[in-house]
Amino acid sequence: MRFGFRCTNCAKAPSDVRRWRCECGAAFALEDSLPFSREAIDTDISGLWRYRAMLPVTEIISLGEGQTPLVEVELYGQKVACKLEYLAPTGSFKDRGTSLLVSALVEMGIKRVVEDSSGNAGASLAAYCARAGIEAQIYVPAHTSPQKLAQIEAYGAKLILIAGPRERAAQATQEAAKRDYYASHYWNPLPLEGIKTEAYEICEALGWQAPEKVIVPVGQGTHLLGLHRGFRDLLEAKLIEKVPRLYGVQARGCAPLYEAFHRRPPMQPRPTVAEGISIREPIRGREVLEAIRATEGAILAVTDEETLQARDIIARRGLYVEPTSAVAVATLKQLSPHLEGITVISLTGSGLKSPKE
């Protein structure tokens, strides 16, 4: 174990790293990040563990995640680079973070975990726990797509359906966390360490240069925060000249970060086709807004109609993603005349995971 936590609010370090949040109620961050070294990349390993010298665990629980292709695609009259994160072992980018988290669970000797998810993180955790021989209970909203539910159960995890909004599943899990370890993909800071490798891969694929913009869907915002960390590591190592502008995308129906960023009055959340980012109160919201502002990016929002249209447009280019991923594609219509340099869109989840709308 090469990691320690500290609170993002009161800066206290916990007496036990198995705690899922600080006594003050805030989330933990990692105490420090291991510096990036190009020479330390292990080229004998494929996937994200080739960066193991930069990762804070010594155990490796892997299903072959990472090293996803970066493919040029023409969309809305613009050439962009799509990072095919949906080609991960369980069909979503979550596998990067889960591989790190479950590796740490094995190091800590944890045998049973609970987690809440809108689907993808739960499926990912179920798969990696199956790999590691850890018992997993996954709490999901009852309205989660049947494909994701089937996937979670197929890996052998216990599935618990919770009626009502996404937050109810989180509350039920926090209750269960009094008995079992809460392997949360958003409270726990370790998944960010796995996600940062996506930034490493993007810059490595571009010959150690940073793109101008990176666009990702945001719900809890862990994806954007992980990327931010990865790009900052490369800046500190003097491998890139600046951190790309980070753009987070929300669905109009549930867009608390968009509203906070643009100082708009909060709207009553509505159901959206982008189920994976439908989060009313992102617990790392402040950190997400800071990262966006620090990189001179923005939070954008798109309607469900724009999202489904974008899903169909990118599918006609041969890339089949779920609506939650298509929100990022849909923003190109807004950004289109202003695209300079390289724009990367992270395609986060497979279209096979959601029913046709």
Interface with Zn ion (CB under 5 A)? 7, 9-10, 22, 24, 26
Identity of the residue, 19 or 112, whose beta carbon is nearer to Zn ion in the bound complex? 19
- For the CA atoms of 231, 233, 234, 235, the dihedral, rounded to the nearest 10 degrees, stands at 90
| Token pair belonging to 54 | 């930069």
Identity of the residue, 15 or 268, whose beta carbon is nearer to Zn ion in the bound complex? 15
Q: Cα dist. 196→58, 148, 203, 296, 350 in Å?
A: 17, 25, 11, 19, 20
175, 196 contact by CB (below 8 A): no
Q: How many CB atoms lie within 10 A of CB 43?
A: 6
Identity of the residue, 32 or 312, whose beta carbon is nearer to Zn ion in the bound complex? 32
Helices (runs of H) and strands (runs of E) counted in the chain: 11, 12
107, 57 contact by CB (below 8 A): yes
Cβ 24 to Zn ion, closest distance in Å? 3
Residue 39 CB partners (closer than 8 Å, separation 6+): none
Identity of the residue, 22 or 106, whose beta carbon is nearer to Zn ion in the bound complex? 22
Q: How many CB atoms lie within 10 A of CB 129?
A: 28
Cβ 346 to Zn ion, closest distance in Å? 31
Distance between CA atoms of 9 and 24, rounded to whole angstroms?
Answer: 8
Identity of the residue, 21 or 311, whose beta carbon is nearer to Zn ion in the bound complex? 21
| Token pair belonging to 201 | 């891969």
What is the secondary structure of 6-24 as a DSSP string? Answer: EETTT-PPPS-TT-SS-TT
Cβ 7 to Zn ion, closest distance in Å? 3
What is the distance in angstroms between the CA of the first residue and the CA of the last residue of the chain? Answer: 44
Identity of the residue, 14 or 269, whose beta carbon is nearer to Zn ion in the bound complex? 14
Cβ 100 to Zn ion, closest distance in Å? 23
Identity of the residue, 6 or 143, whose beta carbon is nearer to Zn ion in the bound complex? 6
Distance between CA atoms of 136 and 207, rounded to whole angstroms?
Answer: 40
Cβ 191 to Zn ion, closest distance in Å? 20
Cβ 10 to Zn ion, closest distance in Å? 3
Cβ 351 to Zn ion, closest distance in Å? 40
Identity of the residue, 23 or 305, whose beta carbon is nearer to Zn ion in the bound complex? 23
Closest CA to 211 of 304, 353, 345, 338: 345
Identity of the residue, 6 or 333, whose beta carbon is nearer to Zn ion in the bound complex? 6
Cβ 4 to Zn ion, closest distance in Å? 14
**Which amino acid, one-letter code, is at 163?**
A
223, 348 contact by CB (below 8 A): yes
Cβ 25 to Zn ion, closest distance in Å? 7
